[in-house]
Structure 1
Amino acid sequence: MPLRPALATAACAALLLLVAAPSAPADSTALADPKETVTIDSVGTMAADGTVTLSGTYRCVDNVGPVYVSSSIGQPSENYRYSIGGTPAVCDGKLHRWENTSRPSPTTLKHGKADVEATIVELHPVGILPLPRFHALMKEDITLSKA
């Protein structure tokens, strides 16, 4: 296999592992650079077909590899989290908006209270494999409303 497709495949595999990875501890934000932040809007939406949209802001300042804002959602009545997209991020020190949309299937999400985690994660090149480097993490209770 040529090197370039192999690296692209490795990057995709690493990103999939990040989406499936367990949540970081709530106190992990204490390790984040104070110039790097991610916020979550207090209201997310869910369309009639189950498509969920989450949004917020982010700021990151330094990267070597590609950076994404990933998000997941869960509800108090469930022991299950749903991954909701991954938006490419620009680490230029400026405040940017992010919005992730996905239609988890199957889903038991309902309108109402939910908790969302958003993470700025970089696929940092180490040797030939990119490894995750976390820039910021936020966990927030939101309201999931009709779109």
Structure 2
Amino acid sequence: MSDQREAFLAGERLEDVALFLADSYVSDERLEEFGERVDDGTLIVIDGERGRNAFQAATGTGAMEFAKSAMSNEGEIDDELTGGHCPDAAADGEHEIQFVFAFAEAQNEEVGGIYAEGDVVHAYAQCTCGTAFSDRWNVGEADG
């Protein structure tokens, strides 16, 4: 795992976003110049504004609009941000993660819940079946 991804998942890069783009979704060797090559794609950790722009360029959707559409449908996203389990996987069809967008939010005791317990990673994924879903967890509590 790259130092950038480790720092992001440790809550040390709160101004950055992480993007995973599966090879099956977008195949462009130039992506590796910007991120970490993983088994089924490329994972990029980049400053927030550039990351949101890169997400929109790669997916054709605004990052925050995508997050808003996915947040009401909970699923499981791998703590390494390179895959997950679609909540509709019981249905027929292919269920592979196409892309993941993630950001971390600083601890906020005033909000309560998991936000009071520490920094929170918010992750949003798109499945090949068309389902968008979300997951979140406290930094340091991932299953990894």
TM value normalised by structure 1: 0.28
Q: Which has the higher strand share?
A: 1
TM value normalised by structure 2: 0.28
Q: Which has the higher helix share?
A: 2
Greater length-normalized contact order (CA 8 Å, ≥ 6 residues apart): 1
From the CA coordinates, give the structure whose radius of gyration is larger: 1
